[in-house]
Structures are given as C-alpha cells and as structure tokens.
Structure 1
Amino acid sequence: MSKTYVEPVHAGEFLLSEGAGKISREAIALAAGVALPAGQVLGQVTASGLLTAYDPNAEDGSEAAKCILFAGVPASDEERRGRAVVRLAEVTESLLTGLDLDAEKALASHFIIVR
C-alpha cells in the first residue's frame, strides 16, 4: 500500500508580490496555542495585543483579520514570536488558511490584496 503525503504551505509561498525591502513584513507576538501554518490569517486579541488565528465567531478582537502569518509556528503553551505580512502585498487565496469574505475585506484595508 502506498501512502499519500500532503506537503504544507512553505514560508511565504502564498505571496505573489510585496513591497520593496522589508516594508510588507513585521516581527509579531503570537498567543500560546495550537500550531499555525504559513498563510494563516491572523486577528489580534484586544486584551493582550497578541495575534492568534482569525476567528469570525470570536468576540475578543480576533474576529477582525489583521495580517497573514509568513512561516508556520509550532504549538506552544507560551507566547511565540513570528513574522507576518502586515501591509502592501498580493497573496494567493488558495494558499491561505482561515480566509473568508470578511477577512478578505479586512486585509484589503491593510493593502493586502487577495488574488
């Protein structure tokens, strides 16, 4: 019997274009929690200021999409560091995790355009 493997999205693979230099990306602080893949849409928890997976049903601030995780991060019981695309970029819809129409509109307000 053969096994089928699914390769995850690689760091930055979802990017079609970004601003010159490093203007599109920033270092970020992520809340403790489950592993997050590259291309995960993120929201910001109002109380802590930490980023976490975008959740349209939340009521803690993370219901508003803010940016996209550049490279995957492992699960952790502690706050994590990462990098995110926060502005001036075009991204591939099919390589994003957690994207819905509201998130797409919110990202557009940060000049992150979904193609």
Structure 2
Amino acid sequence: MAPLVEGKHPGGFLVWEASRDYTRETITVAAGTLEPGTVLGRITASGAYAAHDPAAMDGTETAIAVLWGRADASAGEAPAVALIRGPAIVNRHDLVFAGAPVDAEITAAHAALLAIGILVR
C-alpha cells in the first residue's frame, strides 16, 4: 500500500495573528500555481503578487506577504488571500520559497517580513 502524503493546508504556517480582518487581504496573483505559505513579492509595474524571487528586478525581490491558501493563476491572474501585515507570527518550517534560495536570501526575506510585522519563528 502506498503511503499517504498530506499536503499543505490553508493558513497552516500561521502560529498567531492579531486579527484576521486586519492582517489578511484579498490580492491578485500574477501567474503560476502556488501553495499555502508561499512567500510573495509584489510586481511594481502591475501591483500583482508573485513568488518571492531574490534575483528579480521587478519588485518580487522583496518579501512582502505570505499566501494563505493555494492559488492557481496558471491561466492568468487570479484572486487569493494573503497575510500582508502583522502583528503575526509564522512558522519558518511551513514557509515555501520558490527555487532554491541560499540561507542569506531566506534570512533577508525573514527580515523583510519582520519589517511589516510578520515575525518568523
């Protein structure tokens, strides 16, 4: 019998937040299929969100939010909910980073999230 594998759950990364009506908002995801807990950046030109990419030069190089639930924007922009401000605490082990960032890039993303009130523990 094949082992069962449980995927990520919406909000599974969240340890604590002050008020969901304050810390979360509906956003627009630019492209791709993203899992809950994906660290996001905002594309400067469009204002849409995409997976945080430290090597980018379009605004997504700065971590600015954490995706709440799965988002499927494979056919174009799609609405989603994200944790966009604190006070909030998230579990570092449940955050999802695109690609294979090095430790320094992850540390910088954690610092950027802390600047908006999202503490990574």
Q: Indicate the residue corresponding to 2:85 in structure 1.
A: 87
From 85, 98, 113, the equivalent of 1:107 is: 113
Gaps of 5+ in 1: none
| Paired residues for 1:9-28 under 5 Å | 9-28=8-27
TM-score by length of 2: 0.87
CA distance in 2, matches of 1:30, 1:16: 24
**RMSD of equivalent CA atoms:** 1.4
The CA deviation string for residues 79-113 of structure 1, in whole angstroms up to 9 with x for no partner, is 11000001111000000001811110000000000
From 63, 66, 78, the equivalent of 2:64 is: 66
Q: Indicate the residue corresponding to 1:76 in structure 2.
A: 74
Q: How far did 1:3 drift?
A: 2.1
CA distance in 2, matches of 1:47, 1:75: 18
Percent identity, aligned pairs only, is: 39
Q: Indicate the residue corresponding to 1:40 in structure 2.
A: 38
Q: How far did 1:5 drift?
A: 3.5
Read off the aligned partner of 1:108 and give its amino acid letter.
L
CA distance in 2, matches of 1:82, 1:42: 12
Gaps of 5+ in 2: none
Checking the alignment, whether the CA contact within 8 Å between 2:30 and 2:73 is kept in structure 1 is no
Determine helix, strand or coil for the equivalent of 2:57: coil
Determine helix, strand or coil for the equivalent of 2:50: strand
9-18 or 74-83, which deviates more:
74-83
CA distance in 1, matches of 2:81, 2:13: 14
